[in-house]
């Protein structure tokens, strides 16, 4: 689904990301962990063609994402508030995202109903603009808009941070359902080792731009990761 | 405590992101500032001559006494749009061990720095020192100026009160404008003359200096009135602007959704314009763009200079186009990553932008038709300028948008706001206005007026015919520059 070849990114001569090769297969749930500055967001931005790599390519369905727009048809993403149109109400934002992804009015409505659980009554019908929502609620809007388009690839940067415990729990459940029922390919980064090992079947650890671990999640994974980060 | 406040104030001023921009921009802004100050000062020095020129059979001080009340009304209104309440800045102090009254004093003190409070020194002090001192005594001229200054201060402190009231309920602004309009109308039709009251006051003042206490007391009154108001209302939920008044206009434009992605994008952008302070103030500027012609058309001096008429015509028919188009993409800088990564084709995106430039310009054109009154020559120049704006300037703005890489903060008003403005903006506006004039002028000199109008309009029509290719050209340019643009837009502050 996604193939990375010789991808590097440097800022001012300092390499912040260097991935010689990486393949993510269809339906895989790919967890990315690493300390601040490890290159997680940089990697996601490169996949989404938001920044230019110094070398290498990211292929999505065998087409380089840089310069093409094909991948946009099947990729849902939420990295940060830069993905929200903050002067819209959440409803309007969903409408907008739905319409540009050619969802019907009914599909959009159905989506909003299906997310009521996650929204916990705080998102819809409040007539608040997104900029006036709390950080956590903004994140809910962004994540659910990324999911609503029924993407084949879903890219989320630290989806669990600043969410309340109940929502974290519900989001984990939702992500697992998407994996099982729709075989969505997921790329998720997180600082929370618990969450990420629970949701993802494959964990990659980045350290200063390099992949230092690439493991299948097993029952000892969490311990391994904790041991790794404890000595960092 | 006040020492700290002043120190913070100073740091805020010198660390402001305005100064950290490049020197060239500061020089340009500084240049315009100096020009403006010199204009005011010159006006102040020649005020007596000017007034006696306007009203020939009255002394300058009588005329001034009559119209100065309008000066105060006008500056009060201007303050409304330009002077900001220092409310947000006191939030970090609220939880500290500082008395609320101290904070309230500070807020008022801070308002004194407003530019408006210095205008009397430029405009009226020369008049007081020159004309008033000669006609009356030195003391009287001193009292006269003092009272003018105190009235200005009253206006300053009154504004703090009213502006607070009006941010809670923005519709009151219309009421204020209506009230001022009514006062002018009543005066005009001799029903109730506010200028006579003004004249009466200054006559009294000249006779008896004790009348100085009127503006003095009004100033003190508003200072204390504000003090109690600020102390009572300094809570976070009072200070931060009211959320979501609900803006319904754009919801009524739903039919745009029938036009596919482009329509959807246009609708989204209309919401952007109507819901953010910065973009809204561009909309408020539209009447000024349209009325701009009134400065020039009545004067024969300009009427003969055809190149100049084109300059005015481009501006009158394309004011919105230029003011909005300058920041074509920067308006969306806060969610630009979304634009790039979501399923919006870049071509659709640019097409939507093109429509947003073209449609309002067409609508606004109809308001410029009455300029026909000043001669058919102006009508035809404006008509050609319209086509030029649509056909050439609009695609040009699409193209140059890729050179604007500064993030814009939409939550602040546009007046005197240079956040998100770069030297590029100044450089890019020039060709929009100057090139058509430079094309027009030589042709009209050598071949006459009609061929010049036809050339200008013809260029516009050509641009309209080939608009698809021009848009594509802009898109290709954007594709090359998009990483830099997105990177620039991510930089806050």
Of B272, B483, B486, the CB nearest to A87: B272
Q: Torsions phi, psi of B27, nearest 5?
A: -65, -45
Domain boundaries, chain A: 1-74+152-232, 84-150
Q: Is B271's CB within 8 Å of A75's CB? A: no
pLDDT at residue B164 tops 80: no
Of B64-68, B255-259, B274-278, B281-285, the least confident: B255-259
Distance, in Å, from the CA atom of B159 to the CA atom of B114, rounded to the nearest integer, reads 12
| Cβ-Cβ contacts under 8 Å for A145 (sequence gap 6 or more) | A76, A78, A93, A94, A97
Q: Is A83's CB within 8 Å of B335's CB? A: yes
Q: Parallel, antiparallel, or unpaired for β A185-189 and A2-11?
A: unpaired
B486 contacts in chain A (CB < 8 Å): 50-51
Given CB atoms, is A70 within the 8 Å cutoff of chain B?
Answer: no
pLDDT at residue B21 tops 60: no
pLDDT at residue B493 tops 60: no
Q: Which residue of B has its CA nearest to A84?
A: B335
Write out pLDDT tens, residues A19-56.
Answer: 999 999 999 999 999 988 889 999 999 998 888 888 99
pLDDT at residue A3 tops 90: yes
- In what helix (H) or strand (E) does residue A33 lie, and over which residues does it extend? strand A29-33
Of A99-108, A112-121, B149-158, B229-238, the least confident: B229-238
Rounded mean pLDDT of A132-151? Answer: 91
A187 contacts in chain B (CB < 8 Å): none
Q: Which residue of B has its CA nearest to A49?
A: B341
Distance, in Å, from the CA atom of B480 to the CA atom of B474, rounded to the nearest integer, reads 10
Of the pLDDT bands very low, low, confident and very high (cuts 50, 70, 90), residue B416 is: low
Of the pLDDT bands very low, low, confident and very high (cuts 50, 70, 90), residue A172 is: very high
Q: Give the distance from residue B14's alpha carbon to the nearest chain A alpha carbon, in angstroms.
A: 28
Q: Is B337's CB within 8 Å of A87's CB? A: no
Q: Is A132's CB within 8 Å of B257's CB? A: no
Residue in the structure block whose two tokens are 């618990």: A194
Three-state helix/strand/coil letters over B31-43: HHHHHHHHHHHHH
Asked whether B51 and B131 are in contact (CB, 8 A), the reply is no
- In what helix (H) or strand (E) does residue A101 lie, and over which residues does it extend? none
pLDDT at B243: 47
ipTM: 0.75
In DSSP terms, which residues pair with B200 in a beta bridge?
none
Of the pLDDT bands very low, low, confident and very high (cuts 50, 70, 90), residue B386 is: very high
Of B246, B337, B346, the CB nearest to A82: B337
Domain boundaries, chain B: 21-239, 253-490
Torsion on CA atoms B146, B147, B148, B149, rounded to nearest 10: 50
Q: Which residue of A has its CA nearest to B411?
A: A87
Three-state helix/strand/coil letters over chain B: CHHHHHHHHHHHHHCCHHHHCCHHHHHHHHHHHHHHHHHHHHHHHCHHHHHHHHCCCCCHHHHHHHHHHHHHHHHHHHHHHHCCCCCHHHHHHHCCCCCHHHHHHHHHHHHCCCHHHHHHHHHCHHHHHHHHHHHCCHHHHHHHHHHHHHHHHHHHHHHHHHHHHHHHCCCHHHHHHHHHHHHHHHHHCCCCCHHHHHHHHHHHHHHCHHHHHHHHHHHHHHHHHHHHHHHHHCCHHHHCCCCCCCCCHHHHHHHHHHHHHHHHHHHHHHHHHHHCHHHHHHHHHHHHHHHCHHHHCCCHHHHCCHHHHHHHHHHHHHHHHHHHHCCCCHHHHHHHHHHHHCCCCHHHHHHHHHHHHHHHHHHHHHHHHHHHHHCHHHHHHHHHHHHHHHHHHHHHHHHHHHHCCCCCCCCCCCCCCCCCCCHHHHHHHHHHHHHHHHHHHHHHHHHCHHHHHHHHHHHHHHHHHCHHHHHHHHHHHHHHHHHHHHHHHHCCC
| Cβ-Cβ contacts under 8 Å for B217 (sequence gap 6 or more) | none
Write out pLDDT tens, residues B428-460.
Answer: 788 888 889 888 888 888 888 889 899 999 999
Asked whether B337 and A146 are in contact (CB, 8 A), the reply is no
Q: In Å, how far are A149, A159, A228 from A200, measured between CA atoms?
A: 21, 13, 18
pLDDT at residue B12 tops 80: no
B345 contacts in chain A (CB < 8 Å): 69
Three-state DSSP class for residue A74: coil
Distance, in Å, from the CA atom of A17 to the CA atom of A189, rounded to the nearest integer, reads 15
Given CB atoms, is A12 within the 8 Å cutoff of chain B?
Answer: no
Write out pLDDT tens, residues A197-230.
Answer: 999 999 999 999 999 989 988 888 888 888 888 8
- In what helix (H) or strand (E) does residue A232 lie, and over which residues does it extend? none
| Cβ-Cβ contacts under 8 Å for A32 (sequence gap 6 or more) | A40, A43, A44, A187, A188, A189, A190, A203, A204, A206
DSSP symbol at A193: H
Q: Is B244's CB within 8 Å of A52's CB? A: no
Q: Is B335's CB within 8 Å of A86's CB? A: yes
Of A56-70, B102-116, B329-343, the least confident: B102-116
pLDDT at residue B249 tops 70: no
DSSP secondary structure letters along A121-173: TSSTTS---GGGS-HHHHHHHHHHHHHHT--SEEEEESSSTT--HHHHHHHHH
Residues on chain B bordering chain A, Cβ-to-Cβ distance under 8 angstroms = 243-244, 246, 257, 261, 264-265, 268, 271-272, 275-276, 332, 334-338, 340-346, 410, 479, 483, 486-487, 490
A73 contacts in chain B (CB < 8 Å): 343
Distance, in Å, from the CA atom of B30 to the CA atom of A106, rounded to the nearest integer, reads 56
Q: Is B341's CB within 8 Å of A129's CB? A: no
Q: Which residue of A has its CA nearest to B342?
A: A72
Q: Which residue of A has its CA nearest to B338?
A: A83
pLDDT at residue B242 tops 50: no
Three-state DSSP class for residue A85: coil
Asked whether B223 and B108 are in contact (CB, 8 A), the reply is yes
Q: Give the distance from residue A230's alpha carbon to the nearest chain B alpha carbon, in angstroms.
A: 33
- Percentage of chain B with pLDDT > 90? 19
Write out pLDDT tens, residues B333-370.
Answer: 888 988 888 888 888 899 999 999 999 999 999 988 88
More confident residue, B462 or A99: B462
In DSSP terms, which residues pair with A186 in a beta bridge?
A29, A154
pLDDT at residue A169 tops 60: yes
pLDDT at residue B413 tops 70: no
Residue B346's nearest CA partner among B474, B483, B487, B485 is B474
* Through-space distance between the first and last CA atoms of chain B, rounded to whole angstroms: 28
Q: Torsions phi, psi of A32, nearest 5?
A: -115, 120
Q: Parallel, antiparallel, or unpaired for β A185-189 and A29-33?
A: parallel
Torsion on CA atoms A148, A150, A153, A157, rounded to nearest 10: 10
Of A83, A129, A132, the CB nearest to B338: A83
Of the pLDDT bands very low, low, confident and very high (cuts 50, 70, 90), residue B89 is: low
Q: Is A100's CB within 8 Å of B261's CB? A: yes
Q: Is B410's CB within 8 Å of A87's CB? A: yes
Distance, in Å, from the CA atom of A167 to the CA atom of B377, rounded to the nearest integer, reads 68
Residue in the structure block whose two tokens are 């050619």: A102
Asked whether B317 and B370 are in contact (CB, 8 A), the reply is no
Q: In Å, how far are B79, B91, B459 from B280, measured between CA atoms?
A: 17, 25, 32
Q: Give the distance from residue B86's alpha carbon to the nearest chain A alpha carbon, in angstroms.
A: 21
Q: Which residue of A has its CA nearest to B272?
A: A87
Residue B432's nearest CA partner among B347, B281, B320 is B320
pLDDT at residue B395 tops 90: yes
Asked whether B271 and B250 are in contact (CB, 8 A), the reply is yes
pLDDT at residue B469 tops 90: yes
pLDDT at B251: 63
Q: Give the distance from residue B324's alpha carbon to the nearest chain A alpha carbon, in angstroms.
A: 18
Residue B449, CB-side half-sphere exposure with 13 Å CA sphere: 12
pLDDT at A159: 93
Rounded mean pLDDT of B305-329? Answer: 86
Q: Give the distance from residue A44's alpha carbon to the nearest chain B alpha carbon, in angstroms.
A: 11
Residue B246's nearest CA partner among A83, A84, A87 is A87
Q: Is A86's CB within 8 Å of B334's CB? A: yes
Given CB atoms, is A79 within the 8 Å cutoff of chain B?
Answer: yes
Rounded mean pLDDT of A106-135? Answer: 87
Rounded mean pLDDT of B134-152? Answer: 91
Q: Give the distance from residue A72's alpha carbon to the nearest chain B alpha carbon, in angstroms.
A: 5
Asked whether A46 and A7 are in contact (CB, 8 A), the reply is yes
pLDDT at residue B241 tops 60: no
Q: Is B487's CB within 8 Å of A51's CB? A: yes
Q: In Å, how far are A231, B306, B375, B457 from B303, measured between CA atoms?
A: 80, 7, 10, 20
Given CB atoms, is A129 within the 8 Å cutoff of chain B?
Answer: yes
Asked whether B234 and B89 are in contact (CB, 8 A), the reply is no
Candidate ranges A64-73, A85-94, B155-164, B208-217; pick with highest mean pLDDT: B208-217
Total CB pairs under 8 A between chain A and B = 82
Q: Is A128's CB within 8 Å of B243's CB? A: yes
Q: Is B338's CB within 8 Å of A85's CB? A: yes
Given CB atoms, is A144 within the 8 Å cutoff of chain B?
Answer: no
Residue in the structure block whose two tokens are 């309340």: A164
B243 contacts in chain A (CB < 8 Å): 128-129, 132
Q: Give the distance from residue B335's alpha carbon to the nearest chain A alpha carbon, in angstroms.
A: 4
B487 contacts in chain A (CB < 8 Å): 51
> Mean pLDDT in chain A?
89
pLDDT at B419: 65
Q: Which two tokens stand for residue B332?
A: 């969306």
- pTM assigned to the model: 0.70
pLDDT at residue A196 tops 80: yes
Q: Which CATH number fits domain A1-74+152-232: 3.40.630.30, 3.10.20.30, 3.30.565.10, 3.40.50.300?
A: 3.40.50.300
Of A159-173, B244-258, B435-449, B461-475, the least confident: B244-258
Q: Which two tokens stand for residue B100?
A: 């609320």
> Which class for B166: exposed (0-12), middle (13-18), buried (19 or more C-beta within 10 A)?
middle
Q: Give the distance from residue A153's alpha carbon to the nearest chain B alpha carbon, in angstroms.
A: 13
DSSP symbol at A71: G
Q: Give the distance from residue A59's alpha carbon to the nearest chain B alpha carbon, in angstroms.
A: 15
């Amino acid at each position: 689904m996604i193939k990375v070849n010789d991808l590097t990114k440097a800022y001012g001569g300092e390499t912040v990301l260097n991935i010689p090769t990486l393949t993510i297969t269809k339906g895989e749930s790919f967890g990315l962990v690493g300390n601040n500055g490890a290159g997680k967001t940089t990697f996601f931005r490169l996949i989404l063609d938001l920044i230019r790599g110094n070398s290498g390519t990211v292929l999505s369905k065998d087409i380089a994402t840089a310069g093409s727009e094909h991948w946009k048809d099947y990729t849902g993403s939420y990295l940060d508030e830069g993905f929200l149109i903050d002067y819209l109400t959440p409803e309007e934002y969903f409408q907008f995202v739905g319409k540009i992804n050619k969802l019907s009015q009914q599909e959009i409505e159905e989506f909003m109903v299906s997310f009521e659980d996650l929204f916990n009554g705080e998102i819809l019908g409040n007539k608040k603009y997104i900029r006036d929502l709390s950080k956590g609620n903004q994140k809910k809007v962004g994540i659910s808009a990324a999911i609503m388009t029924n993407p084949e690839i879903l890219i989320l940067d630290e989806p669990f941070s600043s969410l309340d415990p109940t929502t974290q729990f519900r989001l984990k459940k939702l992500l697992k359902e998407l994996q099982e029922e729709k075989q969505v390919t997921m790329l998720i980064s997180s600082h929370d080792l618990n969450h990420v090992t629970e949701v993802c079947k494959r964990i990659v650890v980045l350290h200063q731009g390099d992949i230092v671990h690439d493991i299948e999640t097993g029952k000892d994974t969490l311990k391994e990761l904790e041991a790794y980060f404890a000595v960092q | 405590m006040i020492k700290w406040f002043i120190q913070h104030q100073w740091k805020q001023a010198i660390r402001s992101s305005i100064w950290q921009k490049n020197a060239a921009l500061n020089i340009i802004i500084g240049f315009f500032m100096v020009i403006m100050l010199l204009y005011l000062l010159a006006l102040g020095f020649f005020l007596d001559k000017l007034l006696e020129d306007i009203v020939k059979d009255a002394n300058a001080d009588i005329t001034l006494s009559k119209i100065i009340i309008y000066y105060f009304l006008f500056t009060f209104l201007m303050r409304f749009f330009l002077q900001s309440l220092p409310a947000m800045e006191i939030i970090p102090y609220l939880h500290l061990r500082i008395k609320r009254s101290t904070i309230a004093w500070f807020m008022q003190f801070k308002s004194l720095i407003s530019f408006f409070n210095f205008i009397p020194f430029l405009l009226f002090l020369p008049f007081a020192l020159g004309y008033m001192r000669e006609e009356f005594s030195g003391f009287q001229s001193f009292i006269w100026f003092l009272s003018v200054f105190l009235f200005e201060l009253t206006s300053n402190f009154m504004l703090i009160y009213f502006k607070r009231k009006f941010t809670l309920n923005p519709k009151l602004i219309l009421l204020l404008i209506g009230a001022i309009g009514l006062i002018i109308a009543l005066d005009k039709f001799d029903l109730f003359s506010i200028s006579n009251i003004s004249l009466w006051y200054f006559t009294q003042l000249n006779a008896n200096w004790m009348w100085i206490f009127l503006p003095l007391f009004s100033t003190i009154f508003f200072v204390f009135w504000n003090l109690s108001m600020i102390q009572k209302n300094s809570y976070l939920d009072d200070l931060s602007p009211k959320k979501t008044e609900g803006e319904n206009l754009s919801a009524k434009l739903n039919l745009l959704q029938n036009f596919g992605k482009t329509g959807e994008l246009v609708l989204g952008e209309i919401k952007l314009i109507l819901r953010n302070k910065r973009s809204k103030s561009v909309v408020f500027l539209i009447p000024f763009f349209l009325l701009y012609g009134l400065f020039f058309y009545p004067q024969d001096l300009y009427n003969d200079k055809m190149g100049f008429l084109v300059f005015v015509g481009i501006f009158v028919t394309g004011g919105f186009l230029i003011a909005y188009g300058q920041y074509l993409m920067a308006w969306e800088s806060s969610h630009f990553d979304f634009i790039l990564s979501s399923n919006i084709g870049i071509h659709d995106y640019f097409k939507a932008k093109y429509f947003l430039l073209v449609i309002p310009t067409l609508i606004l054109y109809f308001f410029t038709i009455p300029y026909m009154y000043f001669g058919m020559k102006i009508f035809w120049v404006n008509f050609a300028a319209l086509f030029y704006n649509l056909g050439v300037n609009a695609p040009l703005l699409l193209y140059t948008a890729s050179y604007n890489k500064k993030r814009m903060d939409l939550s602040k008003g546009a007046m005197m706001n240079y956040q998100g403005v770069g030297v590029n903006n100044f450089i890019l506006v020039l060709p929009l206005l100057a090139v058509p004039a430079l094309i027009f002028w030589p042709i009209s000199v050598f071949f006459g007026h009609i061929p010049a109008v036809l050339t200008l309009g013809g260029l516009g029509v050509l641009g309209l015919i080939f608009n698809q290719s021009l848009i594509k050209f802009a898109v290709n340019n954007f594709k090359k520059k998009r990483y830099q643009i997105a990177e620039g837009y991510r930089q806050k502050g």
